[in-house]
Each structure stands twice: as C-alpha cells, then as structure tokens.
Amino acid sequence: MAAHLVIAIDGPAASGKSSVARALARRLGFVYVNTGAMYRAITWLAVSKGVPTADTGRVQQLLHFTEITCGVADGESTILLDGVDPTPHLVGDEVNANVSAIATIPEVRRILTAKQRAYAGEHDIVMEGRDIGSAVFPETPYKFYIDASPEVRARRRASQGLQDSVAARDKVDSTRRTSPLVIAEDAHVIDSSNLTIDGVAGEIVGRLKLKGLVIGDR
C-alpha cells in the first residue's frame, strides 16, 4: 500500500495526459511524475551507446551498469543516468522511433516500475503513463484514462512540430505482453478531443471530490 496519495493517469500517445497531469499536480500541490520520460531516457541511453533496441540482452546489461537516479525538482520528477540529465534528448525522432520497443523489455519495466513506486513513499503524486492504474499502482482508487480521437492526437503531435508515429507506438504499447496499455477496470475514462487541459483537469478534480478525497484545490 502506498504511503501517500496516488492519482494514476494513463492513455495513448498524444492524448494530452502529460499536460493534464502537470496542471492537475500544480493545482493539488502534488508531485508530477512523468513515467514516459523514464522509458525515453533509457531509450536515449541505448541509442546513444549504439545498443540496438532489439538486443534485449545488451539493453539489460547496459541498465545494470548504469546508475539511474530518480528525484524531484520544482514539483516534477527528474532522472539522471550516471549523473547526466537526458532531458534535452527525450523527444528526438530516434527516441520516438525506438521507445516502444525498449518499453516491451520486462527487465526495463521491472526496474522502472520499482523506481516509480518509490515516489509514493515520499510524496503525494500525480503519475502518468500507460500502466500506472493497471500495474504500477493497481490499488489506488484514483484512476483516470485520457483518450482522444486518433485524428486529434496526430494533429496535436504534428502541431508540436514533432515527427512521431503515434499509431505505430499505440499498437506496440497495446499489444505487448508485459503491462500493455489497457483501460483499468475501475478507471474513469475522459475523452479530451473537445476539451481544454484545464477542462480535463477540472473534470478529474470534480471526480476526486465525488470520491470523497479532501484536497486543497489551488
């Protein structure tokens, strides 16, 4: 059982969950934890060291020889790999193209899931990803799944000026064997296609209050 409150937000690529999770965390005074950034960081590590993402054995070896330090700065999760901050590289084309393959590797998921769970030992958190409600914190009663139509999601990613095959990532994420993207049975689903970030965050706050959570809404 987590020592602190956990709000789990899952959903497919470019559904708006990162922006919503960040806005919600600020509003509640919780720490925002971006688990996609962790999978992206490991992907960047493999790509930058020339390790093919399909070579599971070498990826695992790389992980065991790298010090992964997760922390918090300015209310948001941070990650360092052997003391290096990978943030500037995380939304590059190469990372976008390879992250879903890296995220299928059970040992990668095992290591990152343990680090994700550790956040709830220290902080109240809003954590977003693909498997937060289904696998990382299945016991939290506060689960949300944010969706948007494929057209809206492709448009959102393109408007950020980023090359990203959203549909291809969704397919790998939804069909992998370990912790696939699924809608947790008890998750509240929100279609964000026609909603603003604040609109979605507001719907979540309303739902949390309905569930009896006493929160300091800022």
Which stretches of the chain bind ligand CDP, using CB under 6 A? 13-14, 18, 35-36, 39-40, 99-100, 103, 129-131, 169, 173
C-beta of 79 vs 99, nearer to ligand CDP: 99
Burial profile 104-126: b = 16 or more Cβ within 10 angstroms, e = fewer: bbeebbebbbebbeebbeebbbb
Judged by CB, which is closer to ligand CDP: 124, or 131?
131
Least separation in angstroms between residue 189's CB and ligand CDP is: 16
Instruction: Give min distance, CB of 212 to ligand CDP, in A.
Output: 27
Bin 83: left if φ > 0, else alpha if -120 < ψ < 50, else beta.
Answer: left
On whether the CB atoms of residues 144 and 202 are closer than 8 A, the answer is no
Q: Which is nearer to ligand CDP, 39 or 145 (CB)?
A: 39
Nearer to ligand CDP, 39 or 119 (CB): 39
What are the tokens at 160? 């950020």
Under a CB-based contact definition with an 8 Å cutoff, are residues 37 and 79 in contact? yes
Minimum CB separation of residue 47 from ligand CDP in Å reads 14
Kindly state the smallest distance separating residue 109's Cβ from ligand CDP, in Å: 7
Instruction: Say what the alpha-carbon torsion angle 23, 26, 29, 35 is, to the nearest 10 degrees.
Output: 60
Nearer to ligand CDP, 86 or 129 (CB): 129
Q: What is the spatial distance between Cα 10 and Cα 21, in angstroms, rounded to a whole number?
A: 10
Residue showing tokens 């990532």: 169
Residue 110 C-beta: closest distance to ligand CDP, Å: 12
Count, residues in the chain: 218
What SS3 string covers 92-107? CHHHHHHHHHHCCCHH
DSSP letter, residue 133: I
From the CB of 29, what's the least distance to ligand CDP, in Å? 23
Q: Are 25 and 119 in contact (CB under 8 A)?
A: no
Q: Which is nearer to ligand CDP, 35 or 192 (CB)?
A: 35
